[in-house]
Amino acid sequence: MVQKVVICGAGFLGRNIAAAIARGSSFPGPPRSVQVSSRKPDRLHALLSRELPAGAVLAPAVAADITKPDTLVPAFKDASVVISLVGLLQGSPAQFEAIQWRGAENVAKAARAVGAKLIHISAIGADPDSNIAYWRTKALGEEAAFEACPEATVIRPSLVFGPGDSFFNRFARLSQILPVLPVFGDGGTRFQPVYVGDIARLTEVISRNDQTIRKAVAGRIIEAGGPDIFTFKEIMELVLKYTHRYRPIVPVPWFVGKMQGAVLERLPSNILTLTRDQVEQLRHDNILSSPQPETHVSFEKLMFDHGERLRSVHEVLPEYL
């Protein structure tokens, strides 16, 4: 019997996860058919159709809108696994609530309705008490996912990088057009960048119809960071190193960043877009928290147990910057 996996969401991470699952369909067990669903899934479906090797099973794309629950159950019909990639990078508090909280809740309820295993992608820093809408609604989305599907698995990535990312690529482009690269404060905020291929592979592993894996991750959180921790300033140095450019790295006071965000968040989205919430996020470290064995599963151990080694930015950045 074919195992149907629905990727609910598109974009950078969705593309990589869909490809990893389609390519991993030769894993012992039932073959897997991957379906992409979003408001406009045709572009991603066409891209995957060109990229996937012969033998990978890609089901027809099915349109669905996470803010319209009646579109989700038909889209998830016969699904064995639903992977929820519900998220925004910027928006108003109301938009974050509609997408990252209520939208995530709608996806979880639809997954429960069709009897599918739910894998929910969240973010390190998720906190229901945060004053930052992005992190608060990420946490509320997690809570809604677990309430609807107690055996769901939540993945919390740190900063995700790889070909097509919106972080390293963005600063690489900025280094072409700006005379300096700015960092807020002293540039000491810490990040633990994780390779998109490792997140995709993790998701492929826990999507398998393997009861041992399912039992190990059911109802658990997996915080996913890479093998190295860098400060924001060190990340800018990496961008310059691998783009073979020199630019002064200039500290910008936090209050100036907030003033910039207040202006730029009102303008049409572009390479310079910055919001006040994003500036505030940069005050906080984005690294793995202390292990909590009763609720968490080790990302590194799970990957190691399945023959995977986490890739460093030093291996991957030269391939695409």
The number of domains in the chain is 1
Cα–Cα distance for residue pair 115/100, rounded to 1 Å:
22
Report the pLDDT value the prediction gives residue 138, as an integer from 0 to 100: 97
With respect to residue 272, please indicate whether it lies within any of the assigned structural domains. Answer: no
Report the pLDDT value the prediction gives residue 29, as an integer from 0 to 100: 65
Cβ distance 21 to 52 under 8 Å?
Answer: no
Average the pLDDT over 230-249 and give the result.
96
2 band by pLDDT with thresholds 50, 70 and 90: low
Tell me the CB-side half-sphere exposure of residue 28, using CA atoms within 13 A: 2
With respect to residue 240, please indicate whether it lies within any of the assigned structural domains. Answer: no
Report the pLDDT value the prediction gives residue 54, as an integer from 0 to 100: 73
Report the pLDDT value the prediction gives residue 151, as an integer from 0 to 100: 97
Owning domain of residue 93: 3-162+193-225+287-310
Report the pLDDT value the prediction gives residue 146, as an integer from 0 to 100: 98
Average the pLDDT over 234-262 and give the result.
94
With respect to residue 187, please indicate whether it lies within any of the assigned structural domains. Answer: no
With respect to residue 71, please indicate whether it lies within any of the assigned structural domains. Answer: yes
Which residues touch 83 (CB under 8 Å, ≥6 apart)? 5, 6, 7, 8, 9, 17, 119, 121, 203, 207
With respect to residue 252, please indicate whether it lies within any of the assigned structural domains. Answer: no
Average the pLDDT over 200-214 and give the result.
92
Helix axes 168-177, 232-243, angle to 10 degrees: 70
Cα–Cα distance for residue pair 144/274, rounded to 1 Å:
29
Report the pLDDT value the prediction gives residue 79, as an integer from 0 to 100: 95
The tokens for 158 are 């740190």
**Percentage of the chain exceeding pLDDT 70:** 97
**Domain holding 125: CATH number?**
3.40.50.720
Q: Which residues pair with 8 in a beta bridge?
A: 37, 84
Report the pLDDT value the prediction gives residue 270, as an integer from 0 to 100: 85
Residue range 272-304, pLDDT digits in tens: 888 999 999 999 999 998 767 778 999 999 999
pTM, full prediction:
0.94
52 band by pLDDT with thresholds 50, 70 and 90: confident
Average the pLDDT over 203-220 and give the result.
93
56 band by pLDDT with thresholds 50, 70 and 90: confident
With respect to residue 72, please indicate whether it lies within any of the assigned structural domains. Answer: yes
The tokens for 188 are 């000491």
With respect to residue 153, please indicate whether it lies within any of the assigned structural domains. Answer: yes
Report the pLDDT value the prediction gives residue 291, as an integer from 0 to 100: 66
Pairing of the two strands 230-231 and 190-191: antiparallel
Cβ distance 118 to 147 under 8 Å?
Answer: no
With respect to residue 155, please indicate whether it lies within any of the assigned structural domains. Answer: yes
Report the pLDDT value the prediction gives residue 11, as an integer from 0 to 100: 86
Residue with tokens 């009897």: 115
Q: Is the pLDDT of residue 85 over 80?
A: yes
Which has the higher per-residue pLDDT, 312 or 209? Answer: 312
Find, among 207, 217, 219, the residue nearest to 82 by Cα: 207
**Percentage of the chain exceeding pLDDT 90:** 76
Residue range 172-189, pLDDT digits in tens: 999 999 999 999 999 999
Residue range 122-142, pLDDT digits in tens: 999 999 999 999 999 999 999
